Amino acid sequence: MGSNAQLYRDLGATPVINAVGNHTVIGGSRISPRVQEAMVAANRYYVSMDELFHSTGEMIADLLGAEAAFVTPGCGAALALGAAACMSLGNPKRMEQLPHTDGIPNHFLFQTRQKYHYQRCLTVFGGHVVMVGNQNGTTVEQLEDSITELTAGIHHFASGDTDDSILDLDGLLEVAARHDLPVTIDAAYQVYPLDTMKSFAQVPNALIGFGTKYIGACNSTGILCGNKELVEAAYAHSFIGFETSDLETVGRPLKLDRQEVVAVVVALQEWLEMDHEARIADHWRKVDHIVDSLDDIPHLTMERHIEDNSLSNGILLEVDEEAMGRTAAQIVEELKGGNPSIWTRASGNRVRVAVAHLIENEVDIVVGRLRELLS
């Protein structure tokens, strides 16, 4: 690892080789030279942030085919601001009352089987998540019966997993339309195939959040897009909406820098123009090199790990834990604790090595450490 790694050491932190994917806790993304150049250029001048948010929002909406959009500090913030919009839509009194919700619809219906870590984002500004159904699934009838005068919206996690026991997005949209309710969608990593990203962005009467670390923007950024009226209501709650309005809205802590806003637009342009077949082919070139380099190690089985969204393609290393005398989890921890620190992930007796973020000589460094631990 070169002089760039020394920067982190000088700051008392350990540089990491990323073989885990777009992982928030190690920085999320690596921006491209084009994005980096745009951020440096943006640093030269100040700008009206309100003007920048509106102009870039129009560009993002046009690129995705959405009614409206703006840049947020991550997908989590997009969900939080979206929930605030659903609870206070166009009502100044409600906007200023949040996060206190007496007399304000603040329930977001969510299927129990979809329960996940990030539903918490809906509660930041006073929302309350109401779980519907059970671990065996959720029916239309259960969802309909859960709608009350306190219901502010219906939430959907676009996990990408096929699960016939839950209502799919189309089913949720039909229920929502019958009751004139908005739908919030966590589509954080649904950025590829490109048609998938655009299809989510164009869902009617919905607010859709994307995490733009997945497209090569900053770890700290995201996009909120969707229904124009809802997006405008969410923007009123944003930090710049707070600063440019007489209303005491809730999103002032969720601030962004001008360079980050520029980075999102440039990264999105680059993502939509990119030769993704070449990007994915490079994944398999790295995987093939790993397979060739470790093929002689006994008690090890290897196979490609293919993701539907092709963001963290890689290789699964299945180890005979008894024969090797160490578990997959121990291997992951030893990789992380080594020098250099290499982050991977374990599942059962398999180690998953994601290759998308391995650059320069990092593939060979990872191979060398694996040989030490697996031989």
Q: Is the dihedral of CA 221, 227, 230, 236 positive or negative?
A: positive
In this structure, what are the phi and psi dihedrals at residue 23, rounded to the nearest 5 degrees?
-110, 115
What confidence tens digit (pLDDT) does each residue in 172-230 have?
999 999 999 999 999 999 999 999 999 999 999 999 999 999 999 999 999 999 999 99
Please state, in angstroms and rounded to a whole number, the distance separating the CA atoms of residues 179 and 140: 13
Res. 2 pLDDT band, cuts 50 70 90: low
CATH fit for domain 33-273, picks 1.10.3720.10, 3.30.930.10, 3.40.640.10, 3.90.1640.30: 3.40.640.10
In the predicted structure, residue 280 carries a pLDDT above the cut 90 = yes
Please state, in angstroms and rounded to a whole number, the distance separating the CA atoms of residues 326 and 299: 12
Task: Please provide the average confidence, as pLDDT, over all residues in the chain.
Answer: 96
The predicted pLDDT at position 360 comes to 82
Every domain range in the chain assigned CATH 3.90.1150.180: 3-28+275-374
Where does 215-341 have alpha helices with state H? 228-237, 239-243, 258-273, 276-294, 321-324, 328-337
The predicted pLDDT at position 35 comes to 98
What confidence tens digit (pLDDT) does each residue in 113-147 have?
999 999 999 999 999 999 999 999 999 999 999 99
Where does 123-256 have alpha helices with state H? 140-146, 169-178, 194-201, 228-237, 239-243
Cis peptide before 298 (omega within 30 of 0): no
Please state, in angstroms and rounded to a whole number, the distance separating the CA atoms of residues 329 and 331: 5
Please state, in angstroms and rounded to a whole number, the distance separating the CA atoms of residues 93 and 276: 47
Every domain range in the chain assigned CATH 3.40.640.10: 33-273
The three-state secondary structure class of 223 is strand
Per-residue pLDDT, averaged over 313-342, amounts to: 95
The predicted pLDDT at position 1 comes to 58
Burial class (CB in 10 A: 0-12, 13-18, 19+), 279: middle
The predicted pLDDT at position 5 comes to 85
The predicted pLDDT at position 161 comes to 87
Q: Is the distance from CB of 188 to CB of 209 less than 8 angstroms?
A: yes
The three-state secondary structure class of 298 is coil
Per-residue pLDDT, averaged over 325-347, amounts to: 95
What share of the chain in percent tops pLDDT 70? 99
What share of the chain in percent tops pLDDT 90? 93
Q: Is the distance from CB of 4 to CB of 196 less than 8 angstroms?
A: no
Please state, in angstroms and rounded to a whole number, the distance separating the CA atoms of residues 303 and 355: 13
Q: Does domain 3-28+275-374 have CATH number 3.40.140.80?
A: no
In the predicted structure, residue 30 carries a pLDDT above the cut 70 = yes
Per-residue pLDDT, averaged over 327-344, amounts to: 95
The letter for the amino acid at 286 is K
Please state, in angstroms and rounded to a whole number, the distance separating the CA atoms of residues 291 and 214: 26
The predicted pLDDT at position 90 comes to 82
The 10 Å Cβ neighbour count of residue 30 is 15
